[in-house]
Structure 1
Amino acid sequence: MARADQLKTFLRKNPQIRTIRAAAADLNAQPRGKRVPTRFADKVIEDGTRFPMSVLNLDIWGEDIDDSPLLFESGDRDGILFPTERGFLPMPWLEAPTALLPIWMFHEDGHPFEGDPRHALRAVLDRYRAKSLTPVVACELEFFLIDDSGRNLEVPVSPRSGKRRKAAETMSIRTLDQFDIFFTDLYDACEEMDIPADTAISEAGLGQFEINLMHGDDALRAADDAWFFKMLVKGMARRHGFAASFMAKPYEDYPGSGLHTHFSILDREGRNIFDDGGSKGTDALRSAVAGCLDAMYDSTLIFAPHLNSYDRLVPDAHAPTGISWAYENRTSAIRVPSGNPKARRIEHRVAGGDVNPYLLLATILGAALDGIERGAEAPPPITGNAYAQGLRQIPSDWMSAIDAFEASEIIPRILPADLCRNLLLTKRQEVFYMNELSPQEQVTIYLDTV
């Protein structure tokens, strides 16, 4: 009830808010839910809201999944969705004052719906808590600003110069300044939404940028922040007259966008279990690395969930293709950064910007814990160029990744069986229909969704 009172207090203190959006993330991280007038918000706050369980298992077009057991076999029954602990957040990209109410799905008897990706991450974190361990997580999100008003995608015209610069601008201050109004508004919006946006840089792609989200000891909140941030960036860009997209590879001749995850793990006393006081890290670090490497091939579908995802995972394009780890080496799939030993951490570099953040963190943290629990031993770290070392490769196409996920013996130790079944049905349906589209039609659907 205390939580409900806080939500109601928020609305009383913000009488300008006219409607709310009660939304949950589906398996493709698409927000699914309802628009509710503020005067009826109390019912959602107190009693939750209902919609079919199958809604969290739609394909990228928002269509039902053929033969899903959530549909006719079960009568397409409802789940009940309650507010998460994140409460109301403003939606600064909309013209009318509006608040977002994040929700997640439960069964009628109160137990979590396993097809909800947020619950999948919660279940992994419950395993950490049972061992008195706490992951500390940070995400780096890359995205493109795009003019999609014509037939071909282009870099937007700079609001400052009125020019369109068609070149890579790696870490260019000038490029950041060209879109200063957009980034100023974006950072102001992050403050309003309590998203911990830190450093911004320009990247190597056309109109490509990266913003880091600050690390924190609540991985569920980190996934929320990444999900909110993606919604915010896309919405704010449209408000400024262009598009923003986290699709993995909108331009054939330039690098794609990743979502790199950094994590360490604290024990019950708050000590980093990866810190050995030196540069190499502890046995626990190497076991976590081993767990991530062991699961990497089978879990590629999580890191690269769409057809376009595999255009990014090609050699010599700043995205990893071989299963490896290294110290301070960005060609490897897993990098252990240098720096203060107290901050010793693992950087997982495989995922594209088009992922579901909840499934991403559930899979990475679940694989790391699996390695720690087994006392797994990592192979020797590589040195030099990973692309030139004949490493075992990450699946290079969508169907191979789907088949690997389905056949895996590791994935069932990390993700719930119902979610895995739903995801496989979703991706096989998307393969079928995506293959009927032209490349331009494929880009059109991914540009605005992922």
Structure 2
Amino acid sequence: MSANAMKSWLRKTPQVRTIRVAAADLNGQPRGKRVPARFADKVVTDGTRFPLSVMNLDIWGEDVDDSPLVFESGDRDGVLKPTERGFVPMPWLEAPTALLPIWMFYDDGRPFDGDPRHALASVLKRYKARGLTPVVAVELEFFLIDDSGKSLQVPLSPRSGKRRKAAEIMSIRALDAFDTFFTDLYDACEAMDIPADTAISEAGLGQFEINLMHQDDALRAADDAWLFKMLVKGMARRHGFAASFMAKPYEDYSGSGLHMHFSILDENGNNIFDDGGPRGTDTLRHAIGGCLTAMHDSTLVFAPHANSYDRLVPGAHAPTRICWAYENRTSAVRVPSGNPAARRIEHRVAGGDVNPYLTVAAILGAALVGIEDRIEPPAPISGNAYDLDLPQVPTDWGKAIETFANSPLMPRIFPAELIRNLTLTKRQELHYMAELSPAEQVEIYLDTV
């Protein structure tokens, strides 16, 4: 959306009296300001300003103690400009309000390398230079939770007044129990132009999944996922309960993932993974090879929080072995069956608690490394990956942080400044999370991630 179109949108929606301007920090948290609508034209034209360090806060919203972005550099400002998304309504608020997504630049116009949205944009520029366009779709799992008591539980159904204390995989009854919520959620997705497709109930207590439609603009796909997470959490509160994308709120049930599907088009719009049959092209295998090669070192992106590692356990529907397969959901990378023209890769490692920009960048960046280096993956597995002797992703948060920090491969995907900033952020969180009880950790993650 152009600046003129953004201003026109404001004039056509006089009921919107306030706006939020917000960018995603490294944890995917929206950071920004509230602005009266009558001053919004200035933000559209000139942008707004806040410290570069705001993109590098910890999960509590605190400065990172040893970050060079704070006292060492005088905690200087950057300028935040509207993204091409333009204004979107915020239907979960009582007063008519609009959100203007923004991203961070230096005063001289250079992108700020610590901004996760710029990290994804940089990966996509490399695809474009090769005449390639990723087509991306994400599936997001989340929990509806009654957090009003001492322990978490499934909310009462607004229809029956009952509380179902069991998982109900692909249950129409579970969906119907919260029909009003889902109806309002889909209406809100339409208002925000988020392409929400099918919804299903999942294997956890009060757990659901909604798929977002595939599109050939990976940056917009990540925008959609970021906005969708805000929307679901906000709309749930409006309905009297919580929604959370935290990886593992219940010890005895499966956690939530963010599964990403992608294919790649050439300059003529042809899917370069399609060989006309079920096997796929050499390029498909090279992209898989890149994803597998980078998986160990990039686990921190896919499991960024203490709670994330409670999800990465064998037999809990979360991949822990580094492998791939055709039509096998125990593998970390799956090639779904179906029409060869739609041949694609599904990356299944990320939790629902991730930053969508970093996750999409990590996966597409790894696939591109595989294509550039013509990396051949090992043979596809068959059977239960949990029972096989295979390399594993780190299952310890501290190890994942240091692996990411010292990886020789991550600088081919992410800017050095982002690697440094994310590492500093996670080391600080690791230190302070160790002082909290499990219940206190759940409390901080429930509403944030």
Q: Distance in 1 between matches of 2:338 and 2:435?
A: 49
Q: Distance in 2 between matches of 1:9 and 1:403?
A: 48
Measured on the aligned residues, the alpha-carbon RMSD in Å equals 0.5
| 1:51 counterpart SS class | strand
Shift of 1:397: 1.0
Shift of 1:17: 0.2
Tell me what 2:287 maps to.
288
Tell me what 2:273 maps to.
274
Q: With structure 1 as the length reference, what TM-score do the two structures score?
A: 0.99
Tell me what 1:428 maps to.
427
Q: What are the Cα deviations for residues 407-431 of structure 1, in whole angstroms up to 9, with x where unaligned?
A: 2111010000000000000000000
Q: What are the Cα deviations for residues 241-272 of structure 1, in whole angstroms up to 9, with x where unaligned?
A: 00000000000000000000000000000000
Q: What are the Cα deviations for residues 23-79 of structure 1, in whole angstroms up to 9, with x where unaligned?
A: 000000000000000011111011000000000000000000011010111110000
Answering whether residue 197 of structure 2 is matched by residue 198 of structure 1, we say: yes
When structure 1 is superposed on structure 2, of 3-12 and 250-259 the one drifting more is 3-12
Q: Distance in 1 between matches of 2:396 and 2:344?
A: 30
Look up the equivalent residue of 2:286 and give its one-letter code.
S
Look up the equivalent residue of 2:140 and give its one-letter code.
L
Q: What are the Cα deviations for residues 115-158 of structure 1, in whole angstroms up to 9, with x where unaligned?
A: 00000000000000000000000000000000000000000000
Tell me what 1:351 maps to.
350
| 2:353 counterpart SS class | coil
Aligned-residue identity in percent: 78
Q: Distance in 1 between matches of 2:385 and 2:185?
A: 36
Tell me what 2:167 maps to.
168
Tell me what 2:383 maps to.
384
Q: What are the Cα deviations for residues 146-176 of structure 1, in whole angstroms up to 9, with x where unaligned?
A: 0000000000000000000100000000000
Look up the equivalent residue of 1:178 and give its one-letter code.
A
Tell me what 1:98 maps to.
97
Shift of 1:99: 0.2
Shift of 1:392: 0.7
Tell me what 2:312 maps to.
313
Q: Distance in 2 between matches of 1:266 and 1:42?
A: 38
Look up the equivalent residue of 1:43 and give its one-letter code.
K
Look up the equivalent residue of 2:184 and give its one-letter code.
D
| 1:60 counterpart SS class | coil
Q: Distance in 1 between matches of 2:328 and 2:105?
A: 42
Tell me what 1:121 maps to.
120
Q: Distance in 1 between matches of 2:405 and 2:319?
A: 22
1:64-79 alignment, distance < 5 Å:
64-79=63-78
Look up the equivalent residue of 1:99 and give its one-letter code.
A
Tell me what 1:260 maps to.
259
Look up the equivalent residue of 2:378 and give its one-letter code.
P
Look up the equivalent residue of 1:315 and give its one-letter code.
P
Answering whether residue 111 of structure 2 is matched by residue 112 of structure 1, we say: yes
Answering whether residue 157 of structure 2 is matched by residue 158 of structure 1, we say: yes
Tell me what 2:393 maps to.
394
| 2:213 counterpart SS class | strand
Shift of 1:3: 1.5
Q: What are the Cα deviations for residues 298-349 of structure 1, in whole angstroms up to 9, with x where unaligned?
A: 0000000000000000000000010000000000000000000000000000
Q: With structure 2 as the length reference, what TM-score do the two structures score?
A: 1.00
Q: Distance in 2 between matches of 1:384 and 1:445?
A: 38
Shift of 1:4: 1.4
Tell me what 2:141 maps to.
142
Tell me what 2:440 maps to.
441
Tell me what 1:230 maps to.
229
Q: Distance in 2 between matches of 1:208 and 1:15?
A: 38
Q: Distance in 1 between matches of 2:290 and 2:198?
A: 30
Q: Distance in 2 between matches of 1:65 and 1:212?
A: 35
Q: Distance in 2 between matches of 1:419 and 1:282?
A: 33
Q: Distance in 2 between matches of 1:232 and 1:281?
A: 37
Tell me what 1:331 maps to.
330
Tell me what 1:369 maps to.
368
5+ residue gaps, structure 2: none
Look up the equivalent residue of 1:39 and give its one-letter code.
R
Tell me what 1:419 maps to.
418
Q: What are the Cα deviations for residues 353-399 of structure 1, in whole angstroms up to 9, with x where unaligned?
A: 00000000000000000000001111100000000001111101101
| 2:418 counterpart SS class | helix
Q: Distance in 2 between matches of 1:39 and 1:341?
A: 52
Tell me what 1:85 maps to.
84
Q: Distance in 1 between matches of 2:331 and 2:446?
A: 28
| 1:29 counterpart SS class | coil
Q: Distance in 2 between matches of 1:405 and 1:115?
A: 16
Look up the equivalent residue of 1:186 and give its one-letter code.
L
Q: Distance in 1 between matches of 2:349 and 2:268?
A: 31
| 1:216 counterpart SS class | coil
Q: Distance in 2 between matches of 1:395 and 1:4?
A: 45
| 2:43 counterpart SS class | helix
Question: Number of paired residues?
Answer: 449
Q: Distance in 2 between matches of 1:136 and 1:5?
A: 29
Look up the equivalent residue of 1:177 and give its one-letter code.
D
Look up the equivalent residue of 1:136 and give its one-letter code.
V
